[in-house]
A and B are shown apart, each in its own frame.
Chain A
Amino acid sequence: MLRSLSQRTWNWLDERLNLDELIAHAKEKTVPIHKHTLWYYLGGMTAFLFFVQVVTGILLLLYYRPSSDNAFESVQFIMTEVHFGWLVRSVHSWGANLMIAAAFAHMFSVYFLRAYRKPRELTWVTGILFLFIALTFGFSGYLLPWNELSFFATKVGTEIAGVIPLVGHFLKRFLRGGEDVTGATLTRFFGWHVAMLPAAAAMLLMAHLFMVQRLGMSSPEESTDGADNPSHGKTMLFFPNFLLRDLVGWLIALGILGALAAIYPWELGVKADPFASAPANIKPEWYFVFMFQTLKILPAKILFMDGEVLGILAFGLAGLVGLLVPFLDTQSGPNRTSLIFTVLGVVALVYMVAMTVIAYI
């Protein structure tokens, strides 16, 4: 009965939308199997965690109030009064961290497998832009509870934009919604966090997924002329084999998220006071810590420049190189990698890990 009903519904839709053709197409999709196949799951994992963020974010919107007088109290209310509010907020905070971790892991695995080679340059570019957006999400979301730590993190973060030569002052005012970090900054960050960034992220994600669908999975041995060589190596069907494995991964991720949220509920801290000293042991979120530690170590003056200006420009340049890697690395081909870019990648990874570790010990 139920079966025939669903069959009839399907037929009805198929008659109009020609769905069987799509299914036939999906059935052809395969995923290469080799010793690096495990890395293929990271992209899907990032997308899944993004989805978790969207759902929990929409839930939080029902109670959150974006003003300097109410923000802290409303998050407190979510944590203490709203049924499962602690769970939703903690999953949102932990999910953000896991998503960024997954995105970084995805990026580095794609980088070292040289999956950005022709014809996937634009897939890489959209991926990196998505990572930048994810970091902006993290930065803007961090301020929303309006606590002491986030207040100073935002002061420092926006001041960093302010020291960029020429455009700095303008950029800082634009980010802060005025000269200082105030309630105006909070409202601005809120607007980006819940409207502009989600729209941008959704568009990038769609472009990214479209290209992944269009080009199929990259395999390390593949030729770069864009031609498929299905005769090459073992593969598995995307649908259902790979997708089911994906699902298992997502289920595990959800389990980990729930456990983290229950065992380590995200702290709220102390309400921000714009006229109190910065608290000792202040630190940004872990994914900004390598930059934070660099700023701490850089001397006040390097040659004729302020140390932090040099540091910030260097990070900006590194980000730009990262974005344009597929166009800069013309050496990598099938079974051939360029030494310079391997070294660059290793140096970047080691630098980030080392600086982060130094900051925490």
Chain B
Amino acid sequence: MEVVSKRTDRRSFLNYLLGTGIGAAVVSFFYPVIKFLIPPRIAEAPTSSVVAAKVGEVAPNTGKVFRFGSKPGILINGPDGSLRAYSATCTHLDCIVQYRPDMQNIWCACHNGRYDLNGLNIAGPPPRPLEVYDVRTRSGEIVVSKKGG
């Protein structure tokens, strides 16, 4: 009796060792693979202001998509000739919006979303307003910057 239980003890102990050994091996094989699949984060200098266009480049009642760091922004010369800028990334599902002179609104072609000239989502599926940027003109250039930046 004694001997048997000792033997089973030893056996289960060995099984345990073997099991954890194999388990650890499997984990050590897969861990690097899983990690490899996840893209590394690329540090980006945060952009706080860019030159979006030259003065006079964007006619009244039209818009222009410009590069704001790695993201698109949109500069709009309103029907009244006032300049405004917003993030051009639709808050619904990430499409790039455009200015529609016929509606005098900002329009997203992807699912027919609409924003007014304050960037507010007024129709269609977008759940949130567009981020609004500051616009200044400086020696013939239109400079767009993050609010408060």
Contact = CB atoms under 8 A, between A and B. Distances in A.
A253 interface: no
Contacts of B135: none
Contacts of B93: 155-156, 159-160, 163, 295, 308
B5 to A, nearest CB: 43
Interface stretch (A49-57, A177-185, A211-219, A336-344): A177-185
Interface in A269-303: 274-282, 292, 295-296, 298-301
B127 A306 contact: yes
Contacts of B66: 275
B95 A155 contact: yes
Contacts of B94: 155-156, 158-159, 162
Contacts of A276: 65, 96
Contact of A296 (B70, B72, B74, B112): B112
Interface string A150-194: 001001101110110000001001101111100010000000000
B39 A178 contact: yes
Nearest to B106: A277
A3 to B, nearest CB: 53
Contact of B39 (A163, A174, A301): A174
Nearest to A305: B127
A156 B95 contact: yes
A307 B109 CA distance: 18
A163 B125 CA distance: 14
Nearest to A300: B127
A275 B112 contact: no
Contacts of A159: 93-94
Q: Is the interface of B mostly helix, strand, loop or mixed?
A: loop
Interface in B107-134: 108-112, 121, 124-127
Contacts of A155: 93-95
A260 B67 CA distance: 40
With a 10 A CB-CB cut-off, give which of A280, A282, A300 has the most chain B CB atoms.
Answer: A300
B88 interface: yes
Contacts of A282: 95, 109-110
B125 A280 contact: no
A184 B72 CA distance: 18
A277 B115 CA distance: 14
B85 to A, nearest CB: 14
Contacts of A170: 38
A89 to B, nearest CB: 26
Contact of B110 (A156, A174, A184): A156
Contacts of B126: 300
B127 A152 contact: no
19 contacts: A152-B96, A155-B95, A159-B94, A160-B93, A162-B94, A173-B38, A173-B39, A174-B37, A174-B38, A176-B39, A275-B65, A277-B96, A277-B97, A278-B97, A278-B98, A278-B110, A282-B110, A292-B111, A296-B111
